[in-house]
Amino acid sequence: MLTRTPRICVKKKEITPIIEEIFNESNQIFGASKINAILRSRGYVVADKTVAAIMHENGWFSVRGGAKAIYEMNKERKENILSQQFTASAPNEVWISDVTYFTCKKIQYFICVVIDLFARKVTAYTISTGNSSRITKETLAKAYYNRNPKEGLLFHSDRGANYTSRSFSTFCKTLGITQSLSRTATPYDNSVMEAFFKSLKAEELYRNNYRSEREFRERVQKYIDFYNDKRPHQINRYRTPNATEEAYYKRHADDISKSI
């Protein structure tokens, strides 16, 4: 005798992470209809238009349905503007970003980080169980509203879907930020971010067996505080990122006050 899957009615905020999970499991191929079919097979009751609206709000566009549009969009901003020039003459001229992952208590977490290239300071980070344009937008927003950069900021990343999505691109344009993208399969184009994640994993993540998600999150925060305030960098003449920025602002205090 066949048994019917129990129907589960859920709120939008509860179904959104499930939609994101299915979307990523499909390698960002499935559209709203296919995702809703999977939701129904799992017992969830959601209208197609609701799934479509949630996907649109979060920039989760099927690579099949939007392939041509995405191709045209990427053509407009495919240039690797940074071109491995990993220096900046002042804070808030060039930011770089990337996402890595780490498994804690059998759960995979994604860590998105934004670094100011001038002093190699971590300006913002986000830890999430999902890897979409939501995590990259959230992290960029934190950095932007904490630092309040002038228009003309260059933001460099790889070509992951979370950085090339229409949603993220529009967000950058709204903030007056110019995007720069690494060449395909060229990690050296974002080697400063690669070096930071290597340090984070070697000096913190791989050295500890975290007892809980809370401990994991707290230790990441503690490491980033250490990285910015205590860890000297050769590029900074062995000063810390915070000390390097503070020295810059002291040297240019008069110029900054005149521009305000």
For residues 36 and 110, state if they share a domain.
Answer: no
Which residue stretches of the chain are H helix? 12-25, 32-41, 48-58, 67-76, 133-147, 161-164, 166-175, 191-203, 213-229, 241-251, 253-259
154 is in which domain, residue-wise?
Answer: 76-252
- Same domain? 128 vs 36: no
Same domain for 116 and 15? no
- Say if residue 234's pLDDT is above 90: yes
Mean pLDDT calculated for residue range 20-32: 83
In-domain check, residue 153: yes
pLDDT (mean) for 63-78? 52
**How far is the first Cα of the chain from the last one, in angstroms, to the nearest whole number?**
76
Amino acid at 63: V
Query: What's the rounded mean pLDDT across residues 99-105?
Result: 95
Q: How far apart, in Å, are the Cα atoms of 68 and each of 4, 23, 74, 182?
A: 40, 19, 10, 21
Cβ atoms of residues 97 and 117 within 8 Å:
no
Write down the pLDDT at residue 109: 96
H/E segment holding residue 94: strand 94-104
Last residue of a domain, one of 24, 41, 65: 65
Q: Which of 2-11, 146-155, 201-210 has the lowest mean pLDDT?
A: 2-11
Name the band, by pLDDT with cuts 50, 70 and 90, for residue 4: very low
Give the mean model confidence (pLDDT) for residues 183-208.
93
Same domain? 134 vs 20: no
Q: How far apart are CA 85 and CA 89, in angstroms?
A: 12
Based on the fold, state whether residues 47 and 86 are members of the same structural domain: no
Answer yes or no: do 55 and 118 share one domain: no
Q: What is the share, in percent, of the chain residues with pLDDT greater than 90? A: 56
Does the pLDDT of residue 67 top 70, yes or no? no
Residue 216 lies in a domain: yes
117/175 same-domain check: yes
Percent above pLDDT 70 for the chain: 88
Last residue of a domain, one of 34, 65, 96: 65
Pairing state of beta strands 154-157 and 94-104? parallel
Count of domains in the chain?
2
Does 248 lie in the same domain as 183? Answer: yes
Q: Helices 191-203 and 213-229: crossing angle, nearest 10°?
A: 120
24, 135: one domain: no
Q: Is the pLDDT of residue 157 over 60?
A: yes
pLDDT digit string, tens, across residues 131-146:
889 999 999 999 999 9
The reply to whether 258 falls in a domain is: no
Q: What does the pLDDT look like over 211-227, one tens digit per residue?
A: 999 999 999 999 999 99
Same-domain check for residues 32 and 158: no
In a domain, 158, yes or no: yes
- Check: pTM over 0.95? Answer yes or no: no
Same domain, 131 and 15: no
Indicate whether 224 and 100 sit together in one domain.
yes
| Span of 36-40, 116-120, 194-198, 250-254 with lowest mean pLDDT | 250-254
Q: Indicate which CATH number applies to the domain containing 104.
A: 3.30.420.10
Average pLDDT over every residue of 4-30: 77
Domain membership of residue 259 (yes or no) is no
